[in-house]
């Protein structure tokens, strides 16, 4: 039996659950160290109501025909079934009544169904029905996803069985972020995000599964306002302590917020010091059991751990002893992705995004999932822009070569036509005309030579000005890239090439952008164009030598 204690300090007011046997002791507040008192309990009407409703549905599982087990957990199993009334296949999660030893086990199962069912989003597995069979076993049915888990997909890529691109993985990751951002907006945190809880369908579907450890925070995660943190020692590590209950701007559960039997009762409040989640993917505050610190930013950390594995094909922390793993998580003891697997050429900015997402201190992480999404989207779109530019240059060069060949052919045909015409009018007339034309041509040639000299002088001046402008734009592009202003860098590099495609500088600027993003093949293309324009261009020669050494 659990009771709830509340800090009597009005400035703190923290509420937390403890076992009834501890309630008689003088337990200090984990947040401020002040005195606490027990909160009177009230009848659990919400739990009573759901049990009465489920009793009325007893036996409804007869409509499902089982086709074997597809998964198994500590309390129940997941079975592939056919809904005979609709004619579709579903996944049924069943918990055996003999496995429910305490009331809280039943509530946890009910809450998973209720939370997941109310989170209606394209990237969250949909729940169809909640009920109990004729033997009293609880069950709920959900969409049967045909595909593989993200964990399996990463393993298949790691072992060479598949070859998904980084862009494909990042697009999957963005769909996961969409689902979690939606859940946070509804006031729900997942608390057990990991690759094995993400399903990737055969047709591109990405679904977040297993909301069994999810918790309703009582407000929209993206709008959570927290009190100024104080310091509290937990184990061997000093951490920032925040209030147990996150406060929404209006301080109440909104009409769009998710509700469950637990949010309306206190049967299974997570106890202080209790660890919830999977160690290698959980945030430090989860690993330490400081449940009063766990909020939507704990999910953001777990998203970072998933991103880490997508980038490196390795878990951020690996180990066989639970105590050591938990301590490494709490210490933030792991290398950045680009250092963990340097041969994978992970873009530096993605590595930085990942490490910020997995920051040890909550305030140093992205504060909302949307912030993280914007950073990933920016990288994906920038990479696509560079790729399009590289492809566009190749296509333009091909068109130019074809155009030159066409003009050369036209010139040959014109000459042949003149020769044939001359033969038809006779040699004598041709000779006379040729002499007259020669005289006129000599006079025109002298005049054209003067005009050509004048135009050449003007052209030389113009080319000098264009080359200078292209060099200046390239310099601005390189500077913008170094300062992290990718959009400006791309704009200046593109302008440099368009102003003077014969200059090496514009192509060199594009090569610099490609190198910073580990797009080495594209960088080599740009350097080849730069050196074709100016074989002695020192910057391009140096960059090409550096790339050769890295190989």
Q: Which of 55, 105, 178, 192 is catalytic?
A: 192
> Which residue, among 11, 18, 90, 97, has the nearest Cα to 58 in the 3D structure?
97
The separation between the first and the last C-alpha atoms of the chain, rounded to the nearest angstrom, is 64
User: pLDDT tens, 208-262?
Assistant: 999 989 999 865 443 333 333 333 333 333 333 333 333 333 333 344 556 554 5
Active site residue 192: yes
CA 370 to the chain's CA centroid: 10
- Give the CATH number of domain 149-367: 1.10.510.10
The C-alpha atoms of residue 459 and residue 39 are separated, in whole angstroms, by: 89
- Give the CATH number of domain 46-144: 3.30.200.20
User: pLDDT tens, 164-192?
Assistant: 999 999 999 999 999 999 999 999 999 99
pLDDT band at 124 (very low <50, low <70, confident <90, very high): very high
Residue that has been written with the tokens 């927290």 in this structure? 226
Phi, psi for 347 (deg, rounded to 5): -55, 135
For residue 220, the number of C-alpha atoms closer than 13 Å in the C-beta half-sphere is 12
Based on the number of CB atoms within 10 Å of its own CB, is 408 exposed (0-12), middle (13-18) or buried (19 or more)?
A: exposed
- Mean pLDDT taken over the chain: 77
Kindly state the average pLDDT of the residues 385-411: 59
Please give the CATH topology (third level) of the domain spanning 379-550.
1.25.40
**Contacting residues for 102 by C-beta, under 8 A, at least 6 apart:** none
The C-alpha atoms of residue 330 and residue 283 are separated, in whole angstroms, by: 8
Q: The pTM is what?
A: 0.63
Q: How far is CA 187 from CA 171, 443, 494, in A?
A: 25, 89, 45
pLDDT band at 496 (very low <50, low <70, confident <90, very high): confident
pLDDT band at 479 (very low <50, low <70, confident <90, very high): confident
Phi, psi for 236 (deg, rounded to 5): -105, 5
Kindly state the average pLDDT of the residues 261-282: 56
């Amino acid at each position: 039996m659990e009771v709830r204690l509340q800090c009597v300090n009005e400035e703190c007011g923290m509420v937390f659950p403890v076992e009834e046997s501890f309630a008689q002791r003088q337990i200090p507040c984990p947040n401020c160290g002040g005195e606490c008192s027990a909160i009177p309990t009230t009848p659990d009407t919400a739990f009573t109501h759901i049990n009465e409703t489920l009793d009325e549905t007893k036996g409804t599982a007869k409509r499902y025909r089982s086709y074997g087990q597809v998964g198994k957990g500590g309390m129940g199993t997941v079975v592939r079934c056919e809904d005979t009334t609709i004619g579709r296949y579903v996944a049924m999660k069943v918990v055996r009544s003999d496995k429910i030893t305490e009331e809280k086990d039943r509530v946890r199962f009910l809450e998973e169904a209720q939370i997941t069912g109310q989170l209606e989003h394209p990237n969250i597995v949909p729940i169809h029905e909640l009920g109990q069979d004729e033997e009293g076993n609880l069950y709920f049915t959900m969409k049967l996803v045909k595909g593989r888990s993200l964990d399996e997909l990463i393993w298949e890529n790691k072992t060479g069985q598949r070859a998904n691109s980084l862009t494909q993985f990042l697009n999957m990751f963005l769909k996961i972020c969409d689902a979690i951002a939606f859940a946070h907006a509804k006031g729900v945190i997942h608390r057990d995000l990991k690759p094995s809880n993400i399903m990737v369908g055969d047709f591109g579907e990405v679904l977040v599964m297993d909301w069994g450890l999810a918790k309703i925070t009582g407000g929209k995660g993206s709008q959570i306002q927290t009190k100024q943190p104080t310091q509290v020692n937990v184990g061997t590590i000093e951490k920032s302590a925040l209030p147990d209950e996150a406060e929404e701007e209006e301080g109440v559960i909104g009409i769009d917020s998710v509700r469950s039997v637990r949010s309306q009762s206190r049967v299974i409040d997570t106890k202080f010091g209790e660890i919830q989640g999977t160690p290698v993917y959980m945030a430090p505050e989860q690993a330490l059991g400081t449940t009063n610190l766990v909020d939507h930013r704990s999910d953001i950390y777990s998203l970072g751990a998933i991103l880490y594995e997508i980038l490196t094909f390795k878990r951020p922390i690996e180990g066989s002893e639970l105590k050591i793993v938990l301590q490494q998580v709490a210490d933030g003891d792991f290398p950045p992705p680009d250092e963990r697997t340097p041969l994978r050429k992970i873009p530096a900015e993605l590595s930085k995004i990942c490490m910020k997402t997995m920051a040890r201190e909550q305030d140093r992480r992205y504060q909302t999932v949307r912030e993280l999404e914007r950073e990933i989207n920016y990288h994906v779109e920038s990479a696509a822009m560079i790729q399009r530019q590289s492809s566009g240059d190749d296509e333009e060069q091909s068109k130019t070569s074809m155009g030159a060949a066409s003009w050369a052919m036209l010139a040959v045909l014109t000459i042949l036509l003149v020769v044939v015409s001359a033969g038809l009018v006779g040699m004598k007339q041709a000779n006379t005309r040729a002499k007259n034309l020669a005289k006129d041509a000599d006079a025109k040639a002298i005049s054209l030579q003067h005009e050509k000299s004048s135009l050449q002088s003007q052209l030389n001046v113009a080319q000098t000005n264009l080359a200078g402008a292209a060099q200046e734009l390239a310099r601005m592009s390189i500077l913008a890239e170094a300062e992290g202003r990718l959009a400006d860098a791309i704009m200046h590099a593109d302008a440099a090439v368009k102003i003077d495609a014969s200059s090496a500088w514009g192509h060199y600027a594009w090569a610099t952008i490609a190198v910073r993003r580990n797009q080495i093949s594209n960088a080599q293309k740009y350097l080849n164009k730069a050196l074709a324009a100016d074989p002695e261009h020192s910057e391009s020669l140096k960059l090409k030598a550096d790339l050769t050494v890295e190989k």
